Each structure stands twice: as structure tokens, then as C-alpha cells.
Amino acid sequence: MNELNTRRLIGTPAVPGDFADLRRLHGDSRVMATLSADGNTFSEVQTRAFLKHAAEHWKLHGFGLWFFRERLDGEFVFVGYGGIKHAVVEGRDEIELAYAVRSDYWGKGIATEISIAALKWGFDTMHLDRIVAFTLPHNRASRAVMENCGFTYQRDIVHAGLPHVLYILEARAFTARS
């Protein structure tokens, strides 16, 4: 199993057994205000479809989203997910950095920690040349994560019918920062 560990977290590939944790994340209106196309929380059906797609991505490509947990008092507590995955951006297949963290973990560096681990894996293990990331223009926290990881703003785009900002990180720039 492709476990991905950070200083504080243990990440495992998305599997159907992650439903309850993902459901909690997808039911958080603060989180979903920046993740869903309409800004609303996901239904159980949408969460199941998301998880099914994430698990299938692993089977098809050998990489994808990891579900991260923190060990607290002998138990593993779900904090969020992150990783790299295929995404269509402006009609092109790209490898995208994606992440989402429970709102009660915001401001603790978790998204950046997850992202750096996923990027390192993508560049060092998969030997990718570049990885993209995008978010809604007003999502300053997500933009800060991208910038902290070394991404540079490229341009405004439309994704899922909504305005987004596109960031790119090339392998050589990431390696130079490491």
C-alpha cells in the first residue's frame, strides 16, 4: 500500500472505508464553501461518488488522494485528504495537487504539510515535470498554501463553470527550494 507519511500525519490511499470521515468533511459548510461548485455541502450520494472516483483513480493510475490521519492518544483521527491526481484544465490533461482539511484543523499548517509530501512524492517518485493547482480567486488560504509550496500564479481560468486562478509548479523549481 502506498502510505505517505509526514512529520505529524499518516496518509493512506482513498478506499471505500473512508466514507464516514469524508462525509464529515463534505458536511462541513466552511470547507465546502471553497470545494464544491455551488458552495454547498455534498449529499451522501455525492460523497460516495467522490470516494468511488478517488479509489478508482488509485486503481487506474497507481496514485491519487491520500486520506491523512493524526495519531492522538493512541487513535488515528482524520484531518483531511490530499494528493495528486489527473484533472482536465482548459481541455488538457494535467496532474493536479488537491487537498482539503477539516475546518477545526485550519491554521495549523496541515494543508501545506500534506501538499509538500504529495509534491515530493510526485516529483521524486513519479518524476513529473510539473504539477498544477487551482482554486477560486477569493480563497486566500488555499492560494497561500500553493504559494508556500512554491507554486506561481499563471492566469485566471474557468473551471467547472466558475472563475479560478491557476498556479503551476515545475519540478526544477520545487527541487531548488528543497
Q: Can you tell me the distance from the alpha carbon of 76 to that of 82, in angstroms, rounded to the nearest whole number?
A: 17
Predicted TM-score (pTM) of this structure: 0.94
Q: 85, 82, 143: which is closest to 115 by C-alpha?
A: 82
- Over residues 42-101, the pLDDT tens digits come to 999 999 999 999 999 999 999 999 999 998 888 899 999 999 999 999 999 999 999 999
Task: State yes or no: pLDDT of 30 exceeds 80.
Answer: yes
- Please answer whether residues 157 and 164 qualify as being in contact, where contact means their C-beta atoms are separated by less than 8 angstroms: yes
Q: Can you tell me the distance from the alpha carbon of 57 to that of 89, in angstroms, rounded to the nearest whole number?
A: 17
CATH number for the domain including 104? 3.40.630.30
Q: Can you tell me the distance from the alpha carbon of 170 to that of 129, in angstroms, rounded to the nearest whole number?
A: 6
Going by pLDDT thresholds of 50, 70 and 90, the confidence category of residue 130 is very high
Query: Count of domains in the chain?
Result: 1
Q: Helix or strand or coil: residue 114?
A: helix
Q: Which residues contact 42 (CB under 8 A, 6 or more apart)?
A: 26, 27, 32, 36, 50
Q: Helix or strand or coil: residue 41?
A: coil
pLDDT number for residue 23: 97
170: containing domain: 4-177
